[in-house]
């Protein structure tokens, strides 16, 4: 009986590609978070929530929609919304069509803070993304990431 050596999959192209995606996301997220904190005292998760609320048609989302949009657990999202509400950047509202549901809405103060953060974010993107990739590369990257994000 011969023993087959086990092959370590860490050298597999798929593992390497996924690792590169994770590393790139982590590096960009970490450095953007540092920039947002330093420039406008806004943690990256707060920025993400405010941006999701701004992008929603009515400037508000149900709590579970916020959790899905920012890829957080519902418990983690509740604590995050508590902190944003304490800062006056969001408010909870009763859902008119479902008494069990709660909406989270961006406030005037939240919109102002998001505008400030978006200025920092755009400068960050210019320095770390736009200036480093050609128009064609950015288009290709967007298409590929969209394809990977699409439901199967």
As a whole-number percent, the residues of the chain with pLDDT over 70 amount to: 94
Question: Reduced to 3 states, what is the DSSP secondary structure of residue 94?
Answer: strand
Q: Which of 136, 138, 46, 120 is nearest to 89 (CA)?
A: 46
Is residue 1 domain-resident?
A: no
* Residue 132 DSSP label: G
Structure tokens that stand for 40 in this block: 């406008």
What average pLDDT does the segment 32-52 reach?
96
Is residue 119 domain-resident?
A: yes
What pLDDT, in 10s, does the model give residues 86-111? 999 999 998 877 888 889 999 999 99
Residue 6 has pLDDT above 70, yes or no: no
Domain that holds residue 115: 32-134
Is residue 41 domain-resident?
A: yes
Is residue 82 domain-resident?
A: yes
Is residue 78 domain-resident?
A: yes
Which position has the higher pLDDT, 2 or 21? 21
**Per-residue model confidence (pLDDT) at position 45:** 94
**CATH code for position 120:** 1.10.10.10
The domain total for the chain is 1
Global pTM value: 0.83
The chain-wide mean pLDDT, for the chain, equals 90
Residue 142 has pLDDT above 90, yes or no: yes
* Residue 129 DSSP label: T
Is residue 116 domain-resident?
A: yes
Is residue 139 domain-resident?
A: no
Is residue 146 domain-resident?
A: no
What is the biggest distance separating any 2 CA atoms in the chain, rounded to whole angstroms? 73
């Amino acid at each position: 009986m011969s023993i087959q050596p086990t092959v370590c999959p860490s050298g597999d192209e798929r593992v390497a590609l996924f690792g590169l995606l994770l590393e790139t996301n982590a590096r960009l997220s970490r450095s953007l978070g540092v920039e947002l904190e330093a420039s406008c005292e806004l943690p990256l998760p707060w920025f993400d929530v405010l941006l999701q609320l701004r992008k929603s048609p009515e400037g508000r989302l149900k709590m579970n929609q916020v959790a899905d949009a920012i890829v957080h657990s519902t418990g983690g999202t509740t604590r995050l919304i508590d902190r944003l509400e304490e800062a006056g950047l969001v408010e909870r509202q009763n859902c008119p069509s479902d008494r069990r549901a709660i909406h989270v809405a961006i406030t005037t103060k939240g919109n102002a803070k998001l505008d400030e953060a978006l200025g920092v974010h755009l400068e960050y993107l210019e320095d770390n993304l736009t200036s480093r990739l050609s128009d064609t590369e950015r288009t290709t990257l967007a298409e590929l990431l969209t394809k990977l994000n699409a439901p199967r």
